[in-house]
Structure 1
Amino acid sequence: MAFSLPNDWPHVLEAELKQPYLQELKMFLEEERSRHVVYPPESDLFSALEWTPYQQVRVLLLGQDPYHNDGQAHGLSFSVRPEVAHPPSLRNMFKELQDDLGYAPPKNGYLVPWAQQGVLMLNAVLTVRAHQPNSHKNKGWERFTDGVIRAVNEKSEPVVFVLWGNYAKKKKKWIDTGKHIIVESAHPSPLSAKRGFFGSRPFSRINQALRETGQPEVDWRITDS
């Protein structure tokens, strides 16, 4: 087994974990960490799977690449630790959350409370070299996280898949839209937020989909305490 996963994920991803490419990916990461600063820290590599066990996944919020600046990435897509300034995409998410549900943007960008409510906050690529976005693209992570998406697709109960931007929308091929719900729009990054993310009301749309499938809503409020 190339990686040690938390919770019920090893059982769910048993076949994927036996694939030879994961050993190659592990060797690549060991080499990268020996020569460069890599984010997130190794202890946070599978934080998304740690905070949201497979059986609890109700929403999958897909990001692309971890934040690459110092101290930002901690293993959850779009999230930063409480003391870290909000990157632009996260600021735009909070702006849309305020417009959508009326919650004032918090000072705290730590999105663990969402993860604890069953929102799997997964990046397609789980690591990055410091200050070099997409530097770990096409090294094997996409194959692994596609396996995670396929596993979530196999859940018997409906899941809301949140796909922001063209990169995320390509993952629709793994999703059974007869069983699951897709909430999609432009990406919240500054380059595209004004072209369809602002005004898309994703948070209320996710909650509506959960209500319609008999599931509790997500409380999207982030407290500063």
Structure 2
Amino acid sequence: MSWNDFFIKNSKLVNHIYNQLKTTNYTPPIENIFGIFKHMSLEEVKVVMIGDQPYQSASDVCDIAFGTNNPETPSLLKHIFENMEKTVASFNRPMTNHLDRWLKDGIFLCNFCFTRPTYGSTPPHYHLLWEPFTNNLVQYISNHHSVIFILFGSRAKSLRKSINEIKSVVIEAPHPIYNYKEFKNSNCFRKAREYAGNIGFILNW
């Protein structure tokens, strides 16, 4: 099993997504949509963090979810760092907002929707374009080996039905932006570190 194998099995679905994207303007640019898959192999994945959709601002969006090449920290990422500083002992903040150290440590960063329209608010049914792909992705990863899934918000939580919980651990958390008041009191990152020890690896947030 590999990413190449996954994309071959889902080639019709991916082609459908690309065809639909031709009719709209979206972010990130096409070469960055699946950027996360270039940062680690399937075997290297230890934690999967899933949000809702990419940043809308062109200055914030990059080739991975949550991260950015912008030296100014977006609110979503700022809230995550604040929570970690509050709940995780010896939290070691990444040197850059692109979160390269997390990637090297096997933290797979993605969103339920790998793209979002660049105009106005996201249409109510836009997530349906990505729902089959993302469900297939979490199923594929969780069937391969034991990982920790952190699901932010209701849309990401809906993926739980596709995760093999015999092998993997699922942590649900409020979305850092949409439900900030609840998120700031969440212990999701501390729980992830504890579960990592049980599975047999060290999670250095």
Query: Is 174-183 or 100-109 further displaced after alignment?
Result: 100-109
Q: CA deviation at 1:139?
A: 5.6
Please state if 1:69 is matched with 2:63.
no
Q: CA RMSD in A?
A: 2.3
Shift in alpha-carbon separation, 1:43–1:116, aligned structure 2, 3 A: same
Alignment of 1:3-18 (within 5 A): 8-17=2-11
Match for residue 94 of structure 1? 81
Report the equivalent of 2:41.
53
CA contact (8 A) 1:164 1:184 kept: yes
1:219 matched residue in structure 2: 204
Distance 2:189 2:19 in 1: 39
Which amino acid is the alignment partner of residue 31 of structure 1? T
Q: Which TM-score applies when normalising by structure 1?
A: 0.80
Report deviation, 1:141.
2.1
Length, aligned pairs only: 203
Counterparts of 1:76-225 in structure 2, within 5 Å, are 76-83=64-71, 85-101=72-88, 102-103=90-91, 108-135=96-123, 137-138=126-127, 140-155=129-144, 157-189=145-177, 191-195=178-182, 197-215=183-201, 217-220=202-205
CA contact (8 A) 1:61 1:163 kept: yes
Aligned partners of 2:112 and 2:155 also within 8 Å: no
Q: Does 1:31 align with 2:23?
A: yes
CA distance in 2, matches of 1:79, 1:131: 21
Which one-letter code corresponds to 1:212 in the other structure? Answer: N
Paired AA for residue 23 in structure 1: N
Q: Counterparts of 1:22 and 1:74 in 2: how far apart (Å)?
A: 20
Task: Return the alpha-carbon distance in structure 2 between the equivalents of residues 145 and 192 of structure 1.
Answer: 22
Q: Could you tell me which runs of 5 or more consecutive residues in structure 1 were left unpaired when the two chains were aligned.
A: 1-6, 221-225
